[in-house]
């Protein structure tokens, strides 16, 4: 997994002037821009960045309610979870749909799920607008945010995972093949071993950074 960290101070102290850093005084802890040690604690849930559910599109995640839940319990940290798969099958055998994606589904060919294929040369602005808004709104409530860029759990353990991944050659309009060894899971996507995939990931990372500025 890979991510960025954006930080804001606890609710009682107001927002910090910058992201968290390793404390120079005690490297076992993080510190804010004023060198104040910050103890992080929070509660996790998977759809706090990308909506997930059994409908397409999925019902919107209750972000304001989630922030209320956290602040009521005096939590000050969340991992803004991402999910690389557009679709997968859960343990009950039901299809789970995930949106929005960092990349637009522009076609013209169809992906394995019958929807337009992803265009990995472009970005879906609404995804990055949501990313920025959620980091900022969390910060206003005194909550530090760890931004996930990728996750490799899904392709290993979720049902029919590779069929729902944008780097599957059958799902994108760019001829990008994230499974050149035909393993059937797309594990090479997370190894830096496929230069074309790495190029797409680096562009996505750079756009994520810019969206927070």
SS (HEC) of 28-90: CCEECCCCCEECCCCCCCHHHCCEEECCCCCCCCCHHHHHHHHHHCCCCEEEECCCCCCEEEC
Q: What per-residue confidence (pLDDT) applies to 70?
A: 94
Cβ atoms of 15 and 9 within 8 Å: the answer is yes
65-112: per-residue pLDDT in tens? 999 999 999 999 999 999 999 999 999 999 999 999 999 999 899 999
Could you tell me which of 78, 60, 208, 32 has the C-alpha nearest to residue 131? 208
CA atoms within 13 A on the CB side of 182: 0
Cβ atoms of 80 and 156 within 8 Å: the answer is no
129-178: per-residue pLDDT in tens? 999 999 999 999 989 999 999 999 999 999 999 999 999 999 999 999 99
Cβ atoms of 81 and 46 within 8 Å: the answer is yes
- Predicted structure pTM score: 0.88
Confidence of residue 11 (pLDDT cuts 50, 70, 90): very low
pLDDT at 28 over 70: yes
For residue 25, give the DSSP letter: S
> What is the spatial distance between Cα 175 and Cα 169, in angstroms, rounded to a whole number?
6
- In three-state secondary structure terms, 193 is coil
For the record, the structure tokens of 201 come out as: 């990931």
Residue ranges covered by each domain of the chain = 2-211
Q: Kindly state the percentage of the chain with pLDDT values over 70.
A: 92
Mean pLDDT of 48-56: 95
Confidence of residue 1 (pLDDT cuts 50, 70, 90): very low
- In three-state secondary structure terms, 89 is strand
């Amino acid at each position: 997994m890979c991510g960025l960290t954006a930080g804001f101070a606890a609710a009682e102290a107001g927002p910090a002037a910058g992201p968290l850093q390793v404390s120079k005084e005690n490297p076992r802890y993080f510190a804010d821009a004023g060198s104040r040690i910050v103890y992080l604690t929070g509660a996790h849930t998977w759809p706090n960045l990308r909506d997930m559910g059994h409908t397409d599109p999925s019902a919107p995640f209750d972000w304001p309610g989630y922030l209320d839940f956290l602040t009521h319990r005096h939590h000050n940290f969340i991992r803004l979870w991402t999910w690389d798969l557009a679709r997968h099958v859960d343990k009950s055998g039901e299809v789970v749909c995930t949106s929005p994606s960092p990349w637009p589904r522009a076609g013209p060919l169809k992906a394995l799920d019958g929807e337009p294929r992803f265009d990995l040369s472009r970005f879906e602005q609404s995804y990055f607008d949501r990313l920025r808004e959620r980091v900022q709104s969390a910060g206003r409530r005194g909550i530090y945010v760890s931004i996930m860029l990728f996750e490799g759990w899904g392709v290993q353990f979720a049902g029919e995972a590779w069929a729902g991944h944008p780097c599957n050659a059958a799902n994108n309009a760019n001829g990008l093949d994230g499974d050149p060894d035909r393993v059937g899971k797309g594990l090479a996507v997370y190894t830096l071993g496929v230069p074309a995939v790495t190029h797409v990931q680096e562009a996505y990372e750079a756009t994520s950074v810019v969206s927070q500025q």
